[in-house]
Amino acid sequence: MSPGFDQHFKELVRQRTNLVELVSESVQLTPKGRDFQCLCPFHNDHNPSLVISPERGTWRCWVCNVGGDCFSWVMEYDRVDFVEAIKILAEKAHLEVPKFSPRHQHAGQQTALEKTSLFEVMKWAETQFHECLMETSVGEYARRYLMEDRGFTEETIRQFRLGFHPDDWQWLVNRSRNRYPEQLLLEAKLIFKKEGHTRCSDYFVNRVMFPVHDERKRVVAFGGRILPGVDSGKLAKYFNSPESVIFTKSKLLFGLDEARQGIRETETVVVVEGYTDCITAHQFGVTNVVATLGTALTESHVTYLKRLARKVVLVFDGDSAGQQAAERALTKFIAQEVDLRILTLPAGQDPADFLEQQGAAHLQQMIDQAPEAWNFKLNLCVQKFGLESIDGQHRILEEMLELLAASPNLTGTIREDIILRKLADRLSLNENVVRKRLGEVKQKQNPGLKQSIPSSDPHSTPSASHTSGISGPTENTTKDNQLESELLEIIFVYPECVPQIQQHISPDNLKDPRLRFLYQLSIDLTEEGIVPEMSRILDRIDDPELKQLVVKIDFQAHEKAIHSKLHSSTVPQEGIPHFLKHSIQNLKWREEREHHERTKGVLVQKVQSNTLSSDAKELLKKASEFHQKRHKKNSLETH
């Protein structure tokens, strides 16, 4: 049992949690019969391999073999322990978390509580900044800048919880006294201490504050902008929180918490480069927009975004820097299995300018018509070199092939095959010639590699070295393991049968210690008067790997249609399903077979020593009975 929380509270949290809604906060789901499926966020998934069963309240990835219930999802996705997971879900369900004794806390739980304290102090800081902006005379200049210069409405400012930090290096330090320990603010990266100094100072001074939330709407960082006309000295105009325990810049996007619904509705995520561009887009009603945190978009970002939506549109400013940023993004992302589009705005305009001048409808039209990433690059090359001359076509081919060769993850994939065919068609070249030249360019870029010329057969299968995905651990698939797993599958589908099974099979009859534990747990629950349904079993387990095994067995039961097999027919007089009786008999037969093997060994020793006692004769009699049973069993199975 998980320490500190009784079963009633855990069950209440589970009942109040919609697993489909919970998972869809982080990944894009598609219906699959009664279930839902998605790309697994726990490995580099290309084909949806994670299945969510609303009926059973479980999820499982068939590739990397992770799975569980709502608590397991939060633990895996947010990398927290059970205590933090139940707090997160209880908060979402508007339930008050009961207090539990500190003696129950181990190191992992203590870390989770420290994270909770960091989230709390960040939320407090956000409130301080926001109130300073909206309710004080000190924040008036910043307020005018946001409303008049940037055109933000009061509603938008409140929606994104924008704030202001006054021109005082001790402002937050002083306000936190007698409320939060200084060390907590240091860990949250709200304050810092210079080497050789004893006094701490605030990180953000005289800046408009942009809170950065994670997908659960928790404040994890801030972005600060120096106000126009303020002498910032050598300080950067924009300044972001340093990374911390709760903040990793390359894994977060500004505005994602506000954009989630828009992304879900449009199945498209639009990425811009600045906070203000993102906020302006939302104010104009384009609500599927997020922004990078002052850094270039990383592969981690795109890998994450493609789980939210199949289509990702990168929007870049119309200046030369924006054009260069667009081209840099191509090399990283052309191999990603996502509908990646690139949109560059007219020269001299950023998204905020464009919206002010052209309106949301025009921007939305451009987003809808944004070219695919590879086609964007091809169009740039055509504009640069022209298609009319031989030299122009040659230059276009070379530049496009250099792009493809610089993306090793693209090699041997269907995506590469499609691009090569389209490129050859656009340049009116023989496809085999294009493929051969790509192999030469790759060899030139990587002299140490063996030359690899892409197959000219468009239907050829990519080699194993170019396929991705993480295989699960090697599993015991012996007949013994299958027999024992089948018993648990039956229990999960028909938990009321445990007393009947218990009459014939004891936990000691199971060899696999994990399956033995689960069977014993089913018996314990039954004796407590609790039906050992899968959800009840999961409640009693803390070990994540054991939880994953439970979910796997449950999924196997449904894949094998155990429910139908159990209800197809029953044994007359005994009143139990034929399938259940057959499973019990198989396990009992295994016991008899193993007993016979042990008996045979003893008899060999007796014969060798010429000492056939009455005990030995009894063993011979049992061996004879075993052979008769085996002959009868084999006859039944062949007929």
DSSP 487-530: HHHHHHH-GGGHHHHHTT--GGG--SHHHHHHHHHHHHHHHTT-
**Domains in the chain and their CATH numbers?**
7-105 (3.90.580.10), 109-247 (3.90.980.10), 256-370 (3.40.1360.10), 379-466 (no CATH), 479-625 (1.10.860.10)
Please compute the mean of the pLDDT values over residues 616-635 and round it to a whole number: 53
Q: What is the pLDDT of residues 361-378, one digit of tens each?
A: 999 999 999 999 889 889
Dihedral sign of CA atoms 24, 28, 31, 32 in order:
negative
What does the angle CA 594 – CA 598 – CA 604 come to, to the nearest 5 degrees? Answer: 140
pLDDT at 43: 84
Number of neighbours of residue 380 by Cβ within 10 angstroms: 18
Exposure string over 395-406, b if 16+ CB within 10 A, otherwise e: ebbeebbebbbb
**Consecutive H or E run containing 67:** strand 67-68
Q: How are beta strands 50-53 and 35-38 bridged, if at all? A: antiparallel
The CA distance from 117 to 636, in Å, is: 66
pLDDT, mean over the chain: 81
The CA distance from 484 to 481, in Å, is: 5
Contact 305, 337 (CB under 8 A): no
Q: Write out the two tokens for 344.
A: 């560059």
Reported confidence tier of residue 535, pLDDT bands at 50, 70, 90: confident
Contact 573, 466 (CB under 8 A): no
SS3 (DSSP) at 483: helix
Is the pLDDT at 604 greater than 60, yes or no? no
Is the pLDDT at 588 greater than 70, yes or no? yes
Q: What is the pLDDT of residues 378-415, one digit of tens each?
A: 998 998 899 889 999 999 999 899 888 877 778 888 88
The CA distance from 435 to 431, in Å, is: 6
**Sequence-ordered list of residues with C-beta below 8 angstroms from that of 506, at least 6 positions apart, any chain:** none
The CA distance from 337 to 310, in Å, is: 9
Is the pLDDT at 616 greater than 60, yes or no? no
pLDDT at 639: 47
**Sequence-ordered list of residues with C-beta below 8 angstroms from that of 100, at least 6 positions apart, any chain:** 3, 4, 5
What does the angle CA 139 – CA 142 – CA 144 come to, to the nearest 5 degrees? Answer: 105
Q: Write out the two tokens for 345.
A: 């705005």
Exposure string over 519-528, b if 16+ CB within 10 A, otherwise e: bebbbebbee
pLDDT at 187: 92
Q: Which residue has the tokens 């504050």?
A: 209
Q: What is the pLDDT of residues 237-287, one digit of tens each?
A: 888 898 888 898 877 899 999 998 899 889 899 999 889 999 999 999 999
Please compute the mean of the pLDDT values over residues 499-503 and round it to a whole number: 87
pLDDT at 2: 47
Dihedral sign of CA atoms 385, 387, 389, 393 in order:
positive
Reported confidence tier of residue 151, pLDDT bands at 50, 70, 90: very high
Q: What is the pLDDT of residues 223-242, one digit of tens each?
A: 999 998 887 666 778 888 98
In total, the chain counts a number of residues equal to: 639
Adjacent-strand bridge partners of 315? 343
Q: Where are the beta strands (DSSP E) in 249-338?
A: 268-272, 289-291, 311-316
Contact 156, 279 (CB under 8 A): yes
